[in-house]
Amino acid sequence: MEVLTLSSLKIAARDFCIAFSETPIYNLYGVIDNKVVETYIESAFHQYLSTKYEYTFSSAALGVDFPGLEVDLRVTSIQEPQFSYPFRNASQKVYGLGYHLLIFVYEKTDDHSSRSANLKFQNVVFVAREQTGDYQTTYGLRGILSRHGNKDDVTAFLEERNFPLDEIGRDALAERILQQPPEIGYLTISNALQWRLQYSRIIQVATTATTVGVENLLVG
């Protein structure tokens, strides 16, 4: 059995979602709880992978789903493409989550004649860790740096955006930003103690443009 690699994970994700989109799911007929649907999809994907590859699996509660590849799987409905993450540190908005994202975006419909659910995967997107920061934050910071902004400018920006940091923390992050300018991120990350990640921009970017670090796996 082959060892799962980042490349084979992407191929498997594409193949699984294409096949699953054509498979009636009787167990999900009439189910309206998105969490139940998403857990079912995640479990089915891991079962699919386990028949083909060797890999280390970790539950989302303990960490990323594929720790050996530093990839976390997220399944979300096209009607509300978002998810909550536990707060770790404010620098995630600038430098990203620290791991890659594999996002399955599905649309569920019920076939009443066969009493089965149909799961159509609208998007299967891979986001490199460097692009998992907050779009408005990274775009704003890169604009300041391109205009030769200094530490005071960066600190003021962080303060205006209500970063969950004290004065010492803002100062340290500003120093890091000057020395290590961030990549443009494509997530929308709220400031709550539990990050709420909205994927709408990622989906738009993946389906309308060729962007480094954001791949639409259903294309090609």
pLDDT of residue 208: 74
Residue 9: Cβ within 10 Å count = 21
Structure pTM?
A: 0.89
* CATH annotation of 2-83+99-132+193-216: 3.40.210
Between 212 and 184, the higher pLDDT residue: 184
Average pLDDT of the residues in 26-34:
95
State the pLDDT at residue 84.
76
CA distances from 141 to 79, 120, 133, 163, 181 (A): 31, 38, 12, 13, 8
Residue 190 pLDDT: 80
| Residue 72 binned pLDDT confidence (cut-offs 50, 70, 90) | very high
* 218 pLDDT higher than 90: no
Strands 2-3 and 100-111, by their bridges, are unpaired
**Stretch 49-70: mean pLDDT, rounded?**
84
Report the candidate in 139, 141, 76, 128 with the shortest Cα–Cα distance to residue 100.
128
The pLDDT mean for the chain works out to 90
Looking at per-residue pLDDT, the higher value among 55 and 85 belongs to 55
User: For position 52, what pLDDT does the model report?
Assistant: 94
pLDDT at 80: 79
Cβ atoms of 141 and 182 within 8 Å: the answer is: yes
What is the tens place of the pLDDT at every residue in 190-201? 877 566 777 788
Convert the pLDDT of each residue in 130-164 to its tens digit: 999 999 999 999 999 999 999 999 999 999 998 88
The DSSP-derived string for 153-173 is: HHHHHHHHTT-S--HHHHHHH
The model's pLDDT over 158-202, given as tens digits with 9 standing for 90+, comes to: 999 988 899 999 999 999 999 999 999 988 888 775 667 777 888
Asked if pLDDT for residue 110 goes beyond 70, the answer is yes
- pLDDT above 90 as % of the chain: 70
Judged against a pLDDT cut of 70, whether residue 18 lies above it is answered with yes
The amino acid sitting at 108 is K
Domain positions in the chain: 2-83+99-132+193-216, 135-179
* 24-37 mean pLDDT: 95
Q: Give the pLDDT band of residue 87 (cuts 50, 70, 90).
A: low
